[in-house]
Structure formats: C-alpha cells, structure tokens
Structure 1
Amino acid sequence: MSGQTNKPTDLAVATEFLVTAKSGIKAYAQAITETATPEVKNALRDQLMRAIQTHEQISSYMISHGYYHPHDVQEQIRLDLSASQAAINMTQS
C-alpha cells in the first residue's frame, strides 16, 4: 500500500485527534475555574499542560504532512473541502 492510499485515513485520524485534544484543553481550563480544592486544581493544571503539549505535537505532525495550514486560511479551506468530498465519496462507495 502506498502512502498516498493512506492519506485520507491518516488525515481523518490526525484531524480527529487534534479536535479531541482541543476539546480536552477547553474542558481542563473550564474545570480549573470551577474547582476550589488546590490539589485538584494542580492535578488539572498538570493535565492541561499535557493536553497542550499533545496538541502541539499533533499540530506539528499535521503541518509537516500538509494536513493542516493554520497560517493559510485559503489553503486550509481548500483542504477541508477536499477532505469533505473524499469522506462523501467513501460513504457512497
């Protein structure tokens, strides 16, 4: 199997992982603001920092593979539309 064959799958998995990491960051940040216990706040801060590091790693991976263009909105839109069409085509096959 060539790398090109795996590209839609790799893109889908990486994108889902990135979205999940972003969601986790938001959840940890919110939980920190709603927690009164210092020990729990510290534990949540540690988890938040890990989630941010994971997000950075996923972003770097996606950027290096051409899956994510955070500084080029037009290219990201083009890629998102292409990925959406590929997903539609896979469900119709």
Structure 2
Amino acid sequence: MNSIIEKLTGMDALSDQVVAMDLLISAKSGVRNYAMAVTEAGTPEIKEMLTRHLAEALDMHEQISAYMAERGWYHAWDTTEQINLNLGNIRTALDLPTL
C-alpha cells in the first residue's frame, strides 16, 4: 500500500501490528514444534540440542509479546481487552476503501 494512503487511513500502525502478530504466531508455532520434537528425540544429544532451540524459541516469543504489549497491540492477560482490540482492527479493515 502507498505510504501516503497508509498514513491517511491509519493503516501504517495497523500494518506494523499485523506484521508483529504474524511474527508472534510463527514464534508460537516454533515453540510448539520444538516441544513436540523434544519428546520424539531419538538420542540424548538430539534431545539436548532441541531443548536449547526450544529455550531460544521461548525467549523470542517473550520478546515479541513484550514488544507488542508495550505498544498496546497484545493483551495476553486481559482477554476482554484483546477481543475489543481485535474487533476494532476488524472494523478498520472492513472500512477500508476497495480499489
């Protein structure tokens, strides 16, 4: 989207929020996949390596969620607030002009 149009519609901040949420979802998926892989590891060495990767994935998830929480984009402990934020984002997306 054109940066001028993004600014006029308020989509510049929303675009950043969408990218951050996609990254957070990917980080969650990585944590889940590493956790499953640890339980399936065939040797202690592989299990140890996967456990290290899991710890790194958890750290990345924490950093992303903290970044989003600081900007008011993620309310992990307040589901009502998160639902309201999501509904507002949906309304914004639905109100965008179609090209």
TM-score category (smaller protein) = 0.7 to 0.9
Equivalent residue number for residue 37 of structure 1:
43
What TM-score comes out, normalization by structure 2 length? 0.82
The answer to whether residue 4 in structure 2 is matched with residue 12 in structure 1 is no
Deviation at 1:5, TM superposition (A): 4.6
How many residue pairs get aligned? The number is 92
Equivalent residue number for residue 91 of structure 2:
85
Distance 1:90 1:16 in 2: 20
Q: Structure 1, residues 19-61: CA drift from partner, whole Å, max 9, x if none?
A: 0000000000000101121111111111100000000000110
Structure 1 gap segments, 5+ residues each: none
Q: Structure 1, residues 3-25: CA drift from partner, whole Å, max 9, x if none?
A: x5521111101100110000000
What TM-score comes out, normalization by structure 1 length? 0.86
Matched-pair identity in %: 40
Structure 2 gap segments, 5+ residues each: none
- Could you say what secondary structure the match of 2:73 adopts? coil
**Alpha-carbon RMSD:** 1.9
Distance 2:68 2:93 in 1: 18
- Structure with the greater alpha carbon radius of gyration: 2
